Amino acid sequence: MLSRMTLPPEFYLACLQADSTRLAEVGRLGLTEAVPSCPGWTVESVLRHVAQVYLHKVEILRLAAKPDPWPPYLDDRDALDLYDETRAAIVVALEQSGTELPTWTFSPTDKTSAFWYRRMALETAVHRIDAELAHGAATPVNSDLALDGIDEVLTLMLGGPWWEEGDTEHPVDATIRITSDGRSWTIRLDATSATVTPTAEGDVDAEVFGDPDDLFLWLWGRHDLSMEQSAGDDNAVREFRARVAECTT
């Protein structure tokens, strides 16, 4: 199966390292602050969650399968020490695996280690923002990574074969277009499918547009749209965003 990696592996690793380092820095500003984008979480919750995600992927790359049983008991570990240990471990695991190692992923089309380069870079960017928001210190996501993250949310998260049984509370029947930095995705939604086409062709019910950072974080529920960033059917936009939330939480 072909890799969905769209940027060089070195780029993903550099973003992963930069954002994981920033998350560690923000964690050291204070662990008890509430995270507004994740109700009920604190900064410590974010660090522990990301550490467990990293460990899970280290094991997937080692086993070429989902680890079972999972998760290990980690509650007795210092959150910052655990996070620092695991952020180093995931980089080593990816570097050692390269991009062609057959392994388990949740992608229908990519069963290689390349998948995890992209996914871990984007996972880290989102949760780095979470911790920054808790401290009122948000910084932009790398523009190239954010644009790639829009593609991942739409083509993998939303556009996967998850809806065939109509398992959604938001059976919106509409066509939405997302446009950012010269790229567009047209999404045809109904109760049992989400078909994503990387073009700006055809009529739509609504369009959402903006900088990559803004749209990436909006799709992940970390940023609100301004009134100037959408056109067309506002209700279709709201239902579209709610549908995205169903497959990203």
- What is the reported pLDDT for 4? 60
Report the pLDDT value the prediction gives residue 1, as an integer from 0 to 100. 38
2 in any annotated domain:
no
Name the domain boundary from 121, 139, 157.
139
Q: Does any domain span residue 1?
A: no
Cβ contacts of 197 within 8 Å, gap of 6 or more: 185, 186, 187, 188
At 5 the pLDDT is 64
Same domain, yes or no, for 134 and 21?
Answer: yes
The count of other CB atoms within 10 Å of the CB of residue 150 is 22
Q: Are 82 and 158 members of one domain?
A: no
Q: Are residues 113 and 156 in the same domain?
A: no
pLDDT at 79: 98
Say yes or no: 51 and 112 in one domain: yes
On whether the CB atoms of residues 231 and 203 are closer than 8 A, the answer is no
Check residue 157 and report its DSSP letter: I
The predicted model scores a pTM of 0.95
Domain around 231: 146-246
Q: Are residues 23 and 40 in the same domain?
A: yes
Looking up residue 165, the CATH number of its domain turns out to be: 3.30.1050.10
- If asked whether residues 203 and 133 sit together in one domain, one would say no
| HSE-CB of 13 using CA atoms within 13 angstroms | 17
CATH code of 105's domain: 1.20.120.450
Rounded to whole angstroms, how far apart are CA atoms 130 and 2?
Answer: 32
Helix (H) or strand (E) holding 181: none
Per-residue pLDDT of the chain (249 residues; tens, 9 = 90+): 344 668 999 999 999 999 999 999 999 999 999 999 999 999 999 999 999 999 999 999 999 999 999 999 999 999 999 999 999 999 999 999 999 999 999 999 999 999 999 999 999 999 999 999 999 999 999 999 999 999 999 999 999 888 999 999 999 999 999 999 999 999 999 999 999 999 999 999 999 999 999 999 999 999 999 878 999 999 999 999 999 999 997
The answer to whether the CB of 123 falls within 8 A of the CB of 55 is no
Question: How far is it, in rounded angstroms, from Cα 54 to Cα 88?
Answer: 9
Residues 32 and 101 in one domain: yes
Phi, psi of 185 (to 5 degrees): -130, 130
43 and 116 together in one domain: yes
Q: How many C-alpha atoms does 147 have within 13 Å on its Cβ side?
A: 13
Judge whether 95 lies within some domain: yes
> Do 115 and 212 belong to one domain?
no
Instruction: Let me know if residue 46 belongs to a domain.
Output: yes
Is there a single domain that holds both residue 35 and residue 132? Answer: yes
Residue 4 lies in a domain: no
Query: CA-CA distances (angstroms) from residue 174 to 84, 180, 192?
Result: 44, 20, 12
3-state secondary structure 185-240: EEEEEECCEEEEECCCCCCCCEEEECCHHHHHHHHCCCCCCCHHHEEECHHHHHHH
Domain membership flag for residue 178? yes
Of 111, 139, 167, which one is at a domain's C-terminal end? 139
The answer to whether residues 114 and 198 belong to one domain is: no
Tell me, yes or no, whether 133 and 96 share the same domain.
Answer: yes
Q: How far apart are the first and last CA of the chain?
A: 26
